[in-house]
Amino acid sequence: MQQLVVLCALLASFWTVSTGSGDWCYQTQFSCQHQCNAPEKWNHANQDCAGRHQSPINIVTRKTLKDERLTPLRFDNYQQIFKGSIKNNGHSVQVGIPHVSTVSGGGLPATYKAVQFHLHWGDNGGPGSEHTIDGEQYPMELHIVHMKSHYTDLITALRDKEGVAVLGFFYENSNSANRKYDPIINTLQSIRATNGSTYLPSISLAQLIPSEQNMTSYYRYKGSLTTPGCTESVVWTVFENPIPLSTEQLKAFSKVQYHDGKPMVKNFRPVQPLNGRQVFYSGGAVILVSSTLLVTALVTALGLSQSN
């Protein structure tokens, strides 16, 4: 039995299923009973998955290049409260967003509007992010998918080399629960089964991400969707500062199931080769802001002491 399991795990790297282009799975879904195209075979689901500018990547911080143009992003209507629906799509849980929240600035080539968000996670709070930082994998990663504001659907936007912008956020294990995530986590039990969907009580994008002053440090590179079709039309922004969730909150995601009823865990793609791409880092902005503040504080202090 043990040998059979090992053999099947090995097979996952060689197995190719050619029953329709939509058939793909994560490594953990592959078994002797369920053969499917695991990440190394995603190019059989879509040729683009074998491209040279794929995502996710491991970000080696000492090889990133500081870019002064990567100023803080501008978020518009991120505070807007909406009632969406949340769905188990068989690979993740995904929330559709009314196309009113936009992101711009920070070296982005255009204004992009938010379309949907979804997550990638590990097994019961274990490593599960898609991007890694110096080899470190976080327990979960949020992807807020945006398209250039003049497009009306993602398919069209993906034909544009810079048509899509994804904001990626890491999560970290925290001692206390993050109550802003209750609306999402409370719906997970009712969407355990694939294709299950339910209404999401009022939420805003702003409540799910760090405060604006905690989003000034980020990485930027050109990559792809991290699921088939793997289209290389994504301007990636990966934020350094993680979002805190308690262990219990992280574990709640592992109760969701794949289509065969197995726990939906480790739904991340392994990191892809950089192939000579440069990753940029925003670094400069924080120092600039704080030194301006420092000067202001000093001038104020001097002014006060002189007038006294």
- Residue 221 Rama label (left phi>0; alpha psi -120 to 50; beta): beta
CB of 269 to Zn ion, least distance (A): 8
Distances (CA, A) of 247 to 123, 176, 210: 11, 9, 18
211 binds ligand NAG (CB under 6 A): yes
Compose the 221-260 pattern: x for residues touching Zn ion by CB under 5 A, - for all others: -----x----------------------------------
210 binds ligand NAG (CB under 6 A): yes
DSSP 8-state code for residue 175:
S
**Binder of residue 79, out of ligand NAG, Zn ion, none (CB less than 5 to 8 A by kind):** none
91 binds Zn ion (CB under 5 A): no
* Complex with ligand NAG: residue 195 or 296, whichever CB lies closer: 195
**Binder of residue 275, out of ligand NAG, Zn ion, none (CB less than 5 to 8 A by kind):** none
146 binds Zn ion (CB under 5 A): no
Of residues 91, 118, 120, 131, which has the active-site annotation?
A: 91
CA quadruple 146, 45, 257, 173: dihedral sign? negative
* Complex with ligand NAG: residue 99 or 192, whichever CB lies closer: 192
Q: How far apart are CA 189 and CA 182, in angstroms?
A: 12
- The residue type of 220 is R
306 binds ligand NAG (CB under 6 A): no
Asked if residue 200 lies in contact with residue 95, where contact means CB atoms within 8 angstroms, the answer is yes
Compose the 259-278 pattern: x for residues touching ligand NAG by CB under 6 A, - for all others: x-------------------
* Complex with Zn ion: residue 181 or 268, whichever CB lies closer: 268
Q: Which of 195, 202, 275, 278 binds ligand NAG (CB under 6 A)?
A: 195
What long-range pairs does 258-262 form, CB within 8 A, spacing at least 24? 258/25, 258/29, 258/90, 258/194, 259/90, 259/194, 260/29, 260/34, 261/193, 262/28, 262/29
**Binder of residue 210, out of Zn ion, ligand NAG, none (CB less than 5 to 8 A by kind):** ligand NAG
Q: How far apart are CA 199 and CA 87, in angstroms?
A: 9
* Complex with ligand NAG: residue 71 or 241, whichever CB lies closer: 241
Positions 24 through 63 that interact with Zn ion (CB under 5 A) = none
Asked if residue 171 lies in contact with residue 180, where contact means CB atoms within 8 angstroms, the answer is no
Closest CA to 261 of 176, 193, 183, 185: 193
Q: Please give the size of the binding site for ligand NAG, defined by CB under 6 A.
A: 7
Asked if residue 95 lies in contact with residue 85, where contact means CB atoms within 8 angstroms, the answer is yes
Q: Which of 143, 148, 220, 251 binds Zn ion (CB under 5 A)?
A: 143
Q: Which residues are catalytic?
A: 91
Residues that bind ligand NAG (CB under 6 A): 194-195, 210-211, 214, 241, 259
